[in-house]
């Protein structure tokens, strides 16, 4: 009888998530322009992606993005979280400041960076140029466009990790911390032997989610560069969007979506494996 | 009880059915509050006054209008008046049976006499009319008359003349071509269209669109090489990817840039950036290569109107479209909102545009209409090429600019995509030259 309690969530999941997901998987094997009727073509869409230069470029960009987001915001977040642990007064204020970029709509954040910071005429870059320091707008060069977009998203994202890690750190049992202090542990030893191991599940979860979210990244890339210039900041989701809505190739977009999901699935399997090994599941 | 229901039923119907207006729905793209007010004052209210049996409602759907339309039409919903951002997807919509043929309305309302013939041909598939353009535009060259006068530059009519003054501008640290793609990366298609017409020539463009010659032919290689040369020389300045369309047009007014190769849609920026000195900006057709006709007006359709095949009120929708193709509406809307409502009327002589509108706008529209009716026109990639081909073009030319690929590889990919889409019937209608 108690199993019936999962029914409402299950129904919602099936209709809103499972049915569209299944249809997307099905569409990957069809040629469809989104207007006329779909036509079955087997693995042709995947073959197209295999031989498409832009697909491999986008995949490479997603991998670079994942590497950036698995390191920089995690390091910054941990640093800020430990600082917050040490500081007693002003903790709330700092948490709010760190979290603020996260709550601003991504469109606004992107436009501010594009128009008021990176812009070499009207933005801060332009101001610096007038004082003799000429910086190139990273969004305008193929070699730096992806990193320019990543900078904006890193600025938007790291505060979230700081707050999450801080919340996890606060959950660590006081007795363990006291015991370590009594035994003469320095702050770094406390971090290394008590705090970090204690919040390892949180760090693991955030890293797995980072991998999944890195392969889903869309909004900042689309708003700032639409994958340009010259495909240099193209990621799998912007490529899929283009195929679906501009090239009338919904089948190719569905095939790309499956590739994205495969990476997310791999990360999830990895996470569940680790959890099972540690006996948490 | 039964008798009571039988008596009340007709009474109920007579109450609800009298004075019931036929509803007409029209999904529009993005419009700011001023623009919505103008549409209400100049379209909704006068239309409903003239035809009180209709209740016209304009629904502002934003910049993703075409995507929303596609989803709605697939599910059998959607508005009566279908507005799309261009003919790119229309061939596919006609194939899918989503659009109603408009020939009976064209006959009844006399569209064949009032509208430029080339647009009636462009709107036809398999001999039936399916759309009318909301606005047609062209690309040309805006230039700063004051800077030209001060430096003794003559308005260029040929590519060599253009390059001569552009090279001089570079030496003086003036940007020859004010251009920016930060908010519309697709702006690169304007410049590809320019070289395809002004260097390769409209006749070759026509042949390639018809599939008679491949896009890898010599004239197109020369055209793309020429565009690459302009990029490498610095004609587009250093901030092309950082400036928005409006910001780049503004550089024409402050001495940073001397020319702007852009479309007639840029007339909307003149009141802001040339306020009080409107005579310092002029618009001409883009120069052509030796041996090609000049001036050459490249045709672009800004938006299209169709009627949904499942519309419950097609006659009302046709009347609404016809209302917009009138001298009065043309004059009124262009007085307040330039560049977006250039309906392809054959005869603009009776149109009254407000005095506050700069004379260059009116003369440009008249020159364009005359050129089109004399068959002196070229093509734009976004109006005449199929969707995936044109979409690749935006990024592909950037790859050429940044030396990722060369013109041959770029055009080979264009040709491959074009031939595939042509085989699937996705190429828009190309009227005979």
Per-residue pLDDT tens for B247-277? 999 999 999 999 999 999 898 888 889 999 9
Q: What is the pLDDT of residue B16?
A: 53
Q: How many domains does one find in chain B?
A: 2
Evaluate whether residue B356 is within a structural domain.
Answer: yes
Please indicate whether, in this complex, the C-beta atoms of B387 and A122 are within 8 angstroms of each other.
no
B294 & B336 share domain: no
Mean pLDDT of B141-165: 96
Among B373, B397, B415, the domain-final residue is B373
Residues B308 and B293 in one domain: no
Res. B13 pLDDT band, cuts 50 70 90: low
**B347 found inside a domain:** yes
Q: Are residues B235 and B306 in the same domain?
A: no
Same domain, B126 and B237: no
Same domain, yes or no: B156 and B269: yes
B46 and B121 share a domain? yes
Are B310 and B247 in the same domain? no
Examine the domain organization and report whether B277 and B290 are in the same domain: yes
Whether B126 and B147 share a structural domain:
no
* pLDDT band at residue B364 under the 50/70/90 scheme: confident
The average pLDDT across A231-256 equals 94
Handedness of CA B115, B117, B123, B126 (dihedral sign): positive
Phi/psi at A105 (5° precision): -60, 140
Rounded to the nearest angstrom, the minimum Cα separation between B275 and chain A is: 21
Candidates B93, B242, B395; nearest CB to A140:
B242
Residue B109 pLDDT:
95
Average pLDDT for B169-184: 94
pLDDT of residue A249: 92
Average pLDDT of every residue of chain B = 91
Interface test with A, best of B72, B241, B425 (most A CBs within 10 A): B241
Are B82 and B317 within 8 A, CB to CB? no
- Identify the band that residue B11 occupies on the pLDDT scale cut at 50, 70 and 90: low
What is the structure's pLDDT at B284? 92
Please state the φ and ψ torsions of residue B295, each to the nearest 5 degrees: -80, 155
Q: Is A227 in Cβ contact with B247 (below 8 Å)?
A: no
Contact by Cβ (8 Å): B240, A142: no
Q: Is residue B290 part of a domain?
A: yes
* Contact status, residue B66 vs residue B85, Cβ threshold 8 Å: yes
Q: Specify if B428 maps to a domain.
A: no
Q: Give contacts of A227 with chain B, Cβ < 8 Å.
A: 395
Contact A229 B402 (CB under 8 A): yes
Q: Are A154 and A73 contacting, i.e. CB atoms less than 8 angstroms apart?
A: yes
Per the prediction, chain A carries an average pLDDT of 92
Residue B27 binned pLDDT confidence (cut-offs 50, 70, 90): very high
Domain membership of residue B220 (yes or no) is yes
Q: Where does residue B291 fall: left (phi above 0), alpha (psi -120 to 50 degrees), or beta otherwise?
A: left
Q: Are B209 and B229 found together in one domain?
A: yes
Residue A4: its pLDDT value, please? Answer: 87
Do A34 and B388 lie within an 8 Å CB cutoff? Answer: no
pLDDT confidence band for B215 (50 / 70 / 90):
very high
pLDDT band at A280 (very low <50, low <70, confident <90, very high): low
What is the band of A245 on the pLDDT scale with cuts at 50, 70, 90?
Answer: confident
**Cβ separation of B426 and A248 shorter than 8 Å?**
yes
The CA distance from B240 to the nearest CA of chain A, in Å, is: 8
Residue A118 has pLDDT above 90, yes or no: yes
Predicted confidence at residue A279, as pLDDT, reads 63
What mean pLDDT is predicted for residues B289-303?
A: 86
Q: Which of B333, B358, B373 is the last residue of a domain?
A: B373
Cβ atoms < 10 Å from Cβ of A268: 15
Q: What percent of chain A has pLDDT over 70?
A: 99
Quick check: is B4 in a domain?
Answer: no
CATH of the domain at B144: 3.40.190.10
Residue B12 counted as domain residue: no
* Exposed / middle / buried, residue B430 (Cβ in 10 Å: 0-12, 13-18, 19+): middle
Q: What number of other Cβ atoms are within 10 A of residue B203's Cβ? A: 13
Say if the Cβ atoms of B242 and A121 lie within 8 Å.
yes
Distance of CA B244 to the CA centre of its chain: 19
Q: Give the domain extent around B285.
A: 139-298+377-423
Chain B residues close to A137, C-beta within 8 Å? 239, 241-242
Work out the average pLDDT over A115-133: 92
Top-confidence residue, B164 or A281? B164
- Window 373-412 of B, Cβ < 8 Å to A: 387-388, 391-392, 394-395, 398-399, 401-402, 404
**Checking phi first, is residue B179 left (phi over 0); if not, alpha (psi -120 to 50) or beta?**
beta
Q: Chain A within 8 Å of B82 (Cβ-Cβ)?
A: no
**Does residue B13 belong to any structural domain of this protein?**
no
Query: Of B373, B395, B411, which one is at a domain's C-terminal end?
Result: B373
Domains of chain A: 34-277 (1.10.3720.10)
pLDDT at B86 over 80: yes
* Mutation to test the A interface, candidates B182, B234, B416, most A Cβ within 10 Å: B182
Q: Do B387 and B255 fall into the same domain?
A: yes
Q: How far away is chain A from the Cα of B233, in angstroms, using its nearest Cα?
A: 17
Same domain flag for B110 and B165: no
Phi, psi angles (nearest 5°) of residue B217: -65, 160
């Amino acid at each position: 009888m108690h199993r019936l309690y999962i029914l409402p969530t299950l129904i919602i999941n099936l209709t809103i998530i499972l049915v569209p997901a299944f249809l997307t998987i099905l569409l990957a094997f069809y040629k469809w322009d989104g207007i006329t009727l779909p036509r079955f073509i087997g693995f042709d869409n995947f073959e197209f992606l295999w031989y498409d230069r832009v697909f491999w470029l986008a995949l490479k960009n997603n991998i670079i993005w994942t590497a950036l987001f698995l390191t920089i915001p995690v390091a910054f977040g941990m640093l800020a979280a430990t600082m917050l642990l040490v500081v007693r007064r002003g903790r709330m204020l700092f948490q709010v400041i760190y979290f603020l970029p996260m709550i601003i709509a991504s469109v606004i954040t992107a436009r501010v960076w594009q128009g008021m910071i990176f812009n070499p005429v009207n933005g801060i870059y332009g101001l610096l140029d007038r004082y003799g320091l000429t910086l190139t707008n990273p969004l305008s060069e193929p070699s730096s466009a992806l990193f320019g977009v990543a900078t904006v998203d890193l600025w938007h994202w790291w505060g979230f990790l700081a707050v999450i890690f801080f919340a996890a750190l606060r959950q660590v049992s006081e007795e363990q911390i006291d015991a370590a202090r009594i035994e003469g542990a320095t702050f770094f030893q406390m971090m290394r032997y008590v705090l970090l191991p204690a919040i390892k599940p949180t760090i693991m979860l955030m890293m797995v989610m980072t991998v999944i979210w890195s392969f889903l990244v869309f909004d900042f890339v689309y708003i700032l560069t639409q994958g340009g210039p010259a495909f240099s900041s193209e990621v799998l989701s912007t490529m899929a969007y283009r195929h679906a809505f501009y090239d009338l190739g919904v089948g190719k977009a569905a095939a790309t979506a499956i590739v994205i999901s495969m990476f997310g699935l791999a990360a999830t399997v990895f996470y569940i494996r680790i959890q099972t090994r540690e006996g948490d599941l | 009880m039964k008798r009571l229901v039988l008596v009340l039923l007709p009474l109920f119907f007579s109450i609800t059915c009298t004075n019931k207006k036929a509803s007409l729905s029209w999904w529009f793209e993005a419009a700011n509050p001023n623009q919505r007010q103008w549409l209400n004052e100049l379209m909704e209210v006068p239309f409903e006054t003239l035809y009180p049996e209709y209740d016209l409602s304009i629904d502002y759907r934003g910049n993703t209008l075409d995507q929303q339309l596609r989803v709605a039409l697939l599910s059998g919903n959607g508005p009566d008046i279908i507005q799309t951002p261009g003919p790119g997807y229309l061939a596919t919509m006609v194939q899918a049976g989503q659009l109603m043929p408009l020939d009976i309305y064209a006959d009844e309302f006399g569209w064949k006499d009032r509208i430029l013939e080339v647009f009636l041909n462009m709107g036809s598939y398999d001999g039936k009319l399916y759309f009318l353009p909301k606005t047609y535009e062209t690309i040309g060259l805006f230039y700063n008359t004051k800077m030209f006068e001060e430096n003794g530059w003559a308005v260029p009519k040929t590519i060599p003349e253009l390059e001569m003054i552009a090279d001089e501008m570079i030496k003086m640290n003036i940007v020859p071509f004010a251009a920016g793609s930060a908010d519309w990366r697709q702006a690169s298609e304007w410049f590809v269209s320019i070289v395809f017409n002004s260097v390769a020539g409209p006749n070759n463009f026509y042949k390639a669109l018809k599939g008679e010659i491949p896009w890898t032919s010599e004239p197109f290689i020369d055209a793309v090489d020429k565009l690459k040369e302009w990029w490498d020389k610095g004609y587009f300045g250093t901030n092309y990817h950082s400036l928005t369309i409006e910001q780049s047009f503004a550089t024409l007014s402050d001495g940073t840039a001397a020319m702007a190769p852009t479309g007639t849609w840029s007339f909307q920026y003149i009141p802001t950036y040339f306020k009080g000195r409107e005579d310092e900006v002029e618009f001409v057709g883009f120069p052509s290569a030796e041996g090609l006709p000049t001036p050459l007006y490249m045709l672009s359709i800004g938006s299209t109107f169709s009627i949904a095949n499942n519309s419950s009120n097609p006659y009302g929708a046709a009347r609404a479209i016809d209302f917009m193709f009138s001298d009065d509406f043309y004059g009124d809307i262009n007085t307040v909102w330039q560049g977006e409502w250039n309906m392809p009327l054959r005869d603009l002589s009776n149109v009254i545009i407000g005095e506050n509108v700069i004379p260059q706008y009116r003369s440009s529209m008249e020159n364009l209409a005359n050129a089109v009716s004399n068959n002196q026109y070229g093509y734009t990639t976004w109006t005449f090429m199929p969707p995936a081909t044109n979409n690749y073009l935006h990024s592909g030319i950037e790859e050429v600019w940044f030396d990722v690929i060369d013109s041959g590889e770029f055009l080979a990919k264009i040709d491959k995509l074009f031939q595939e889409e042509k085989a699937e019937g996705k190429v828009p209608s190309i009227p005979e030259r």
